[in-house]
Structure 1
C-alpha cells in the first residue's frame, strides 16, 4: 500500500491534481492507479477520479507490480539494496534493459530474477541506462513513482 499525507498548506482539491502537483505522479501512473479500484482517503474506499482531498488527509492506493521484463537467472553484483532502490554494478557487454531484438540476457532480466527469488513484489524501473559497452552502477527504483520523481528532479537540475 502506497501512502501520502496531504500537505498542510494546500487547498482542497481533486486527489488527482494533488498527486500530480505535489507528489510528482505521472499521467501514466495516474491511469494505472484509477484502473486498480483500490483508492482510499482516510481509510475509506473512494473512486479515485472523484476523490477530493484536504490538508492532512491520508491518501492510500495499491498498485500491483507488473513488468514485461522476463525474470532470468543472471549473476548480479548488488552494491546496495533497501525497500526502495537496488544498485547493481553492470558489467561491460551487457544491455541495461531488453530491446525488441535482444530481450533475455540483460541486467533488468537479472534484476527481475533477484526480485522473484527474494519474494519482492516490485517492479523494475531503471533510473537511467548505461550503453552495452559501459560498465558501472545502475540504480533501479522498485516503484514507478520513485523513478518518475527522480527523473523530474534530474530535469530541474539540468536547466
Structure 2
C-alpha cells in the first residue's frame, strides 16, 4: 500500500472515503479496505484522511477511535476501567485542553523512547540480548522513573501556566485572585 507522490516529491495525503454502507474505499489503491488495513496504515506512519463520501466531512478521528475501541475490546486493553473513567471526567473540565496536549506529548515521548530502544536492539547479538534481559528490569524501572518524573514536571509546568493565565484574566476584569 504505497502512497502516491505529489508533484513536489512529497507524499500526497492518502484519501479514504467512507460510504453509507460503512465500507472504506482507498482512493490510492482504488479498492475497498478494512479497518484492519487502516490500522496498518497507521502502523506504517502513512498520512491519510478519512472523508465521508457524500458530505466530504473529515471522519478520521472517529475511524481512529473505532480502531482503538476494537483494540481495547480485543483482550489486552491499554486502559483500565479506572483510567477510562478518569478520562471521561476530564471532558468539560477547564483542564480538558491542557490534558489533551499533556497526553499527546507524553504518548509522543513514549513512542520516541520505544523507537530508540527498537533501533538500538537491532545491533544486539543474542548473547548481548541475554545479558540485557538480565538487567532489564532495573534499567526499565530507571528509564520509566525518568519518564514519569519528566511527565510530572511537564504537568506541573502546565498547571503553573494555567494558574498564571487565570490570574491575568481575572486581573484584566479587576478581580483579585484568591490567596493561596
If the length of structure 1 is used for normalisation, what is the TM-score? Answer: 0.27
Q: Which has the larger radius of gyration?
A: 2
The one of the two structures with greater contact order (alpha-carbon pairs below 8 A, sep at least 6) is 1
If the length of structure 2 is used for normalisation, what is the TM-score? Answer: 0.25
Q: Which has the higher helix share?
A: 2
